[in-house]
Amino acid sequence: MGLRLYNSLTRTKEDLAPLGAPKVGLYTCGPTVYNYQHVGNYRTYVFEDVLVRALKLLGYAPNRVMNITDVGHLTSQGDEGEDKMEVGSAREGKSAWDVAQCYTEAFLADCRELNILPADILCRATDHIAEQIALVQRLEAKGFVYKTSDGLYFDTARLPDYGKLMTREHLEGLQSGARVEANAEKRRITDFALWKFSPAGSRRQMEWDSPWGKGFPGWHIECSAMAMRFLGETFDIHCGGIDHVPVHHTNEIAQSEGATGKPFAKFWLHGEFLLMHNAKMAKSSGGFVKLSDLKDKGFSPLDYRYHCFTAHYRKQLDFTWETLEGSKTSRRRLKEAALALAGEPAKLGCAEYSTRFKEALSDDLNVPAAMAVVWDAVKSDLPGGAKKSFLEEAETVLALDLFKKDAEETTPPEVARLLAARDDARRRKDFPEADRIRQAIDQLGYVVKDGMAGAKAVKK
Ligand code: AMP
Ligand code: ZN
């Protein structure tokens, strides 16, 4: 079955026609690791996870790259302000490197609890400085770069279709925002930093030598450099939250297409916001809810995953404790229905619901419609075995642990922490360390199982 997706670039729904079908190259902007991610951020990652899982169900082979922003993301949308990593470092009295490590681990542990499949490639900005410098050099050779006293900037006037991802409202928003921005040396408000110089007389914790002097990369260049490194100069899908349209993604396109002269991503998918009190949930506003806050109030992270399924990804979703309670109840009922089928013999042949479920997903990932099909099936008079096989199939996308008893669902925090540390060791290819951690988990009475959904600890 094909997949139609709303492409923010063309502002229409289009058929996905992967460049190297059945493979689908997918780049998803990851977290800035100077603090915990809030549940708003996780709405975007859950949407991307559903995309990956739906692609698999529909017969594609997605290759998902996710970056970890651990340098260069400044406190203002423009190129002013402090590096968020240095802000985190000052706040916590730790090095910027330790802050990055700590919040990367916290992020991966949260993703695991939300049943978000690990990215095929997880890449840190600080591990790819050379690629970023090389890309800026490529742009420099083509005349896209000018220098100011504080860095190198991309000259947006040099790219005829600059800003094709954004609307006029976006541009007006940038113009009104620019009045408060200080950098008078920028030629245009849309110009953006590719490389920033370390301030004279002070030493940054994160800085590198470059052909232009000591400094650090601008925020956007990491995504262009790593996407091209792992997926090629043109690839299938690029995702992120809707806030990235006017600046981050617009500038990723400009740098990438400026350097290569080729289209960057064919599809741009954007997840809408999770709102709290009618405003975007955001770290900067202070009032943000972490995954651990949900757990403290007795919710499973998967209740929140279910909650994300109550709205289409391109619609805003309100976060209130009452509506989350509703999602918790719905998930419990669905789980009871699934567990009641546990003893049924597996029986294939429930084409009607399976087809309807896939059709809903193929229509721009209409998860609320797919959930309605699931509930229809549960309430139908289908034989138990057929219901069970359909729910098992739906679970490959929903990943709500419908067939798991509650006792199996909760992993003690210490075991979860060790699992995250082991994941990290494996990613660094430090297998002796990963093995030591596995033994420590073993001593706590849990066996590590590596599966499709990442590593899990199961009680012995
Ligand atoms: P950040 O760590 O700020 O770079 O954000 C990580 C991801 O979360 C990005 O894709 C953002 O677009 C997304 N995001 C930020 N706030 C929200 C929100 N309130 N609702 C949904 N997604 C969000
Ligand atoms: Zn990005």
Residue 73 in this model has a pLDDT that exceeds 70: yes
Q: What is the biggest distance separating any 2 CA atoms in the chain, rounded to whole angstroms?
A: 75
Tell me the pLDDT band of 300, cut-offs 50, 70 and 90: very high
Q: Are residues 301 and 419 in the same domain?
A: no
Q: At 196, which CATH number?
A: 3.40.50.620
Instruction: Look at phi and psi of residue 426 and say left if phi exceeds 0, alpha if psi is from -120 to 50, else beta.
Output: alpha
pLDDT digits (tens, 9 = 90+) for 254-281: 999 999 999 999 999 999 999 988 888 8
Task: Let me know whether 142 and 70 are in one domain.
Answer: yes
Q: What is the CATH number of the domain that holds 366?
A: 1.20.120.640
Same domain? For 25 and 80 the reply is yes
- Given ligand 1 and candidates 44, 99, 317, which is best to mutate, with the most ligand atoms within 8 Å of its CB? 44
The rounded distance, in Å, linking the Cα atoms of 38 and 288 is: 6
Q: In what order do the strands lie in the sheet with 151-154?
A: 145-147, 151-154, 192-197, 215-217
Instruction: State the alpha helices, DSSP H only, in 317-454.
Output: 321-340, 351-362, 367-379, 384-398, 406-409, 413-427, 431-443
Note the ligand closest to the C-alpha atom of 43: 1
Virtual CA dihedral for 437, 48, 255, 235, nearest 10 degrees?
100
Calculate how far, in angstroms, residue 260's C-alpha sits from the geometric centre of ligand 2.
18
Q: Domain span at residue 422?
A: 413-459
Ligand 1 pocket test, candidate residues 32, 41, 65, 281, most atoms within 8 A of CB:
41
Does residue 179 surpass a pLDDT of 90? no
Ligand 1 in reach of 190 Cβ (< 6 A): no
Average pLDDT of the residues in 207-225: 94
At residue 314 the predicted structure's pLDDT band, cuts being 50, 70 and 90, is very high
Asked if residue 104 belongs to a domain, the reply is yes
For residue 391, pLDDT over 90 is answered with: yes
Residue 208, domain member (yes or no): yes
Same domain, 297 and 378: yes
Query: Is 279 within a domain?
Result: no
User: 324-364 pLDDT, tens per residue?
Assistant: 999 999 999 999 999 999 888 876 667 899 999 999 999 99
Cβ of 72 closer than 6 Å to ligand 1, yes or no, is no
Are the C-beta atoms of residues 389 and 351 closer than 8 Å to each other? no
Let me know whether 310 and 446 are in one domain. no
pLDDT, residue 345, reads 83
Distance (Å) from CA 117 to ligand 2 centroid: 19
Q: Which ligand number lies closest to the CA of residue 277? A: 1
Local confidence band at 427 (pLDDT 50, 70, 90 cut-offs): confident
Asked, for residue 337, whether it belongs to a domain, the answer is yes
Q: What residue ranges in 94-174 does DSSP mark as E strands?
A: 121-124, 145-147, 151-154
Q: How much is the average pLDDT of 288-302?
A: 95
Residues 304 and 448 reside in one and the same domain: no
How many folded domains does the chain comprise? 3
Instruction: Check pocket membership of 217 for ligand 1, CB cut-off 6 A.
Output: no
65/167 same-domain check: yes
In a domain, 264, yes or no: yes
Q: Is the CB of 65 under 6 A from ligand 1?
A: no
The model's pTM: 0.88
**Whether the Cβ atoms of residue 371 and residue 361 lie closer than 8 Å to each other:** no
State which ligand 1 atom lies nearest to the alpha carbon of 32. Answer: 2
450 in the same domain as 375 = no
